[in-house]
Amino acid sequence: MSDVLNFDETCLFCKIIKGDIPSAKVYEDALCYAFRDINPQAPTHILVVPKAHIRSVAEISANNEALVGHMFTVIAKIAREEGLEEGGYRVVSNCGPDACQSVPHLHFHILGGAKMAEGMA
């Protein structure tokens, strides 16, 4: 987990993690932070981010795969606690310009609380 101490002073999500920009916190531990999306696209829309500044899925490697695995454990825990397990939910990570990634800090969207349209996976 050599990326854990990375921090980018210009990054919006690094500033949110540090508390310099307010957010509606859902969960936090030593490795990751979760908060409600400012522009929700579902009744429940939560972002899970690593505290380390990893730019996207494209930067996942052997150096941080344990961290990413931990993030998925956290995603399942949050989904349970938010009451999404029975109805189901979607986990999305946009990677790069074709996927319209707008914040270059790895994040997983948890979307749930209503039936979604089919398509786009």
Residue 76 C-beta: closest distance to ligand DGP, Å: 20
C-beta of 37 vs 59, nearer to ligand DGP: 37
- State in Å, rounded, how far the first CA of the chain is from the last one: 30
Are 34 and 53 contacting, i.e. CB atoms less than 8 angstroms apart?
Answer: no
Among the listed residues 33, 35, 89, 108, the single contact to ligand DGP using CB under 6 A: 35
Residue with tokens 């795969």: 65
**Four-residue CA torsion sign, 72, 5, 19, 12:** negative
Q: Known catalytic residue: 107?
A: yes
Q: Which parts of 53-112 interact with ligand DGP (CB under 6 A)?
A: 94, 100-103
Catalytic residue among 53, 70, 105, 107: 107
Among 31-39, 57-65, 72-80, 112-120, which window interacts with ligand DGP (CB under 6 A)?
31-39
C-beta of 66 vs 92, nearer to ligand DGP: 92
**How far is it, in rounded angstroms, from Cα 111 to Cα 42?**
6
Radius of gyration of the chain (CA): 14
- Residue 31 CA from chain centroid, whole number: 12
Active-site residue numbers?
Answer: 107
Residues at the contact surface with ligand DGP, assessed by CB under 6 A? 12, 21, 23, 35-39, 47, 94, 100-103
